[in-house]
Amino acid sequence: MRTALRLTAALLAAASASGAQQAAVKPAQFLGFVYLQGTSTPIAGATVAFESLGLTATTDADGHFRIFGVRPGNQILTVKKIGFVALRSMMAFRSDDSVDTDLSLAKSAEAQALTAIKVEAPAASAWKLAEFEDRRKKGVGGRFISRADIEASGGSGLPELLARINGPSIQRSNKSSRAWAVTSRGVSSILRNGQSILADEDLRMGASRDQCYTAVIVDGVEVYTGGAGQTLFDLNTVNLDTIAGVEFYAGGATLPAKYAGLRVACGLLILWTR
């Protein structure tokens, strides 16, 4: 009887700790306005979605939308409507965040025929992947993952793919499902005036001040570069179905010239979406 009581108490304590950890991280909300590029005309009936999270909203007659329950971290946003060029971008959310933004769509030269049964993501724009393909073909300095490599991976996640190309090391949290790209160059990139600038949320989720976290750029946008207040990029938030190419540079002389000015002592990971 005494053993059973002790076991029950231990289970209750574990459940309480787990509940406290979950309560510390609250979902965010995302709201905004979708309009025709170059004007202030609202676009009604546009689909705004975080596909990997299964969260979707449709803009109303005034172009407004609101999405609740967004998981904190970096999430890929898509905005689509027939007759317009689809928008795809990376958004960063903190616990209990409320992000309000305006999104513009450009009219498509030719309205795409989309069926009600299945909506296909548009192929990666040639202009967006031009620099990726140029660097990949030259094979200078970096390590590369093409769309063909992703499709041949058999459903692996991004951390597993990076391991296959001897990319950055992967730190997996012991407090959550998050995983981050790190290198062994030290912690200089996450220190400012001798103090760690890791976000409190990342520390709660299991990030360590002893790690050197890799900078991340998505479609040319700096998502994480070690700046104060920035949250680390969770590799497990990436749905590989949305990725067209991946580049990794260990830093220093291996970096492409256009990124030489970034503070990337811990390496640079570049993702290109489809």
pLDDT in tens, 179-219: 999 987 555 444 444 444 677 888 888 888 888 888 888 88
pLDDT at 36: 92
Task: Please give the Cα distance from 168 to 94 (Å, whole number).
Answer: 25
Give yes or no for a contact between 223 and 216, defined as CB atoms under 8 angstroms apart: yes
Task: Please give the Cα distance from 100 to 88 (Å, whole number).
Answer: 17
90: domain CATH number is 2.60.40.1120
pLDDT band at 65 (very low <50, low <70, confident <90, very high): very high
Radius of gyration (C-alpha) of the chain in whole angstroms: 21
Asked if 145 and 248 sit in the same domain, the reply is: yes
Q: pLDDT digits over 94-152, tens only?
A: 888 888 889 989 888 654 444 333 444 444 456 678 889 998 988 878 999 999 999 98
Domain membership flag for residue 13: no
pLDDT at 63: 93
Mean pLDDT, rounded, of the chain = 78
Which residues form the domain of 188? 126-273
Q: Which residues, listed in sequence order, are joined to residue 192 by a DSSP beta bridge? A: 195
Q: What share of the chain is helix, strand, coil (3-state, %, to 5)?
A: 25, 35, 40
Q: How far apart are the first and last CA of the chain?
A: 60
The pair of three-digit structure tokens given for residue 138, joined into one six-digit string: 């030259």
pLDDT at 119: 40
173: domain CATH number is 2.170.130.10
Domain membership flag for residue 180: yes
Task: Please give the Cα distance from 53 to 55 (Å, whole number).
Answer: 5
Q: What is the mean pLDDT of residues 63-83?
A: 90
